[in-house]
Amino acid sequence: DTGVSQNPRHKITKRGQNVTFRCDPISEHNRLYWYRQTLGQGPEFLTYFQNEAQLEKSRLLSDRFSAERPKGSFSTLEIQRTEQGDSAMYLCASSSGQGVYEQFFGPGTRLTVL
Amino acid sequence: DAKTTQPPSMDCAEGRAANLPCNHSTISGNEYVYWYRQIHSQGPQYIIHGLKNNETNEMASLIITEDRKSSTLILPHATLRDTAVYYCIVRGTLNYGGATNKLIFGTGTLLAVQP
């Protein structure tokens, strides 16, 4: 257990539905990342928060995706109008702003879009 | 960030040392070498990082060549629990507030530790 939690762990939804995932980082970490991982591939960066500010978004993050970190603590990732191609593991990581910026990953949320 | 090249898979006998190579020939002077691993159905886990000198911690050793174009992660006594995908990542570690420090993963090396 790294101290980063994600909920739910699994989500099955029908195409066209909206889904929301939550990430609770390590409490003193001000940096939070979302990644997406498909089968057989390494994780791909989606977006980055420093405190409550979303400072970088990947081109992978289409306009159907939105992420928030309202008080600089937990974060949510919402996918609207899900498509089958959104099926993946969604990983959250956090790090402090000091030192080597080691990222601590949560267990992920596995999304299946039917 | 520099690209890395790793073999797709390796086997190792339990109790033996596992040596995982990584090529990063385009690494620049301010970029570090990081290693993460991902056990099946879990999130990636940080192992070790280094700039120029060899490094050792409780999990592994990292050997970086003098020209910094390649490195080797060494698990001194591999166990079955070390079976995982190992990712070598090259990244700058910048100390100003605007740096994202995102990780760019390749496909890694699947290490299978055999009993």
Q: How far does the CA of residue A71 sit from the closest CA of chain B (Å)?
A: 18
The per-residue pLDDT for range B64-109, each reduced to its tens digit, is 999 999 999 999 999 999 999 999 998 876 554 455 678 889 999 9
Angle in degrees, CA B68, B74, B76, rounded to 5: 155
Radius of gyration of chain B (CA): 14
Query: Is the separation of the CB atoms in B112 and B18 below 8 Å?
Result: no
Query: For residue B109, which residues of chain A lie inside 8 Å, CB to CB?
Result: none
| Contact at CB, A108 and B104, closer than 8 angstroms | no
- pLDDT attached to residue B2: 64
The per-residue pLDDT for range B22-59, each reduced to its tens digit, is 999 999 888 889 999 999 989 999 999 999 989 999 99
Task: Please list the alpha-helical segments (H only) found in chain B.
Answer: none
- pLDDT attached to residue A71: 87
Best residue in B6, B46, B96 for a mutation probing chain A (most A CBs within 10 Å): B46
Q: How far does the CA of residue B94 sit from the closest CA of chain A (Å)?
A: 9
| Cα→Cα distances A106→A32, A68, B39, B89, Å | 11, 17, 13, 19
Tens-digit pLDDT string for chain A (114 aa): 889 999 999 999 999 999 999 999 999 899 999 999 999 999 999 999 999 999 999 988 899 999 999 988 999 999 999 999 999 999 999 998 766 668 999 999 999 999
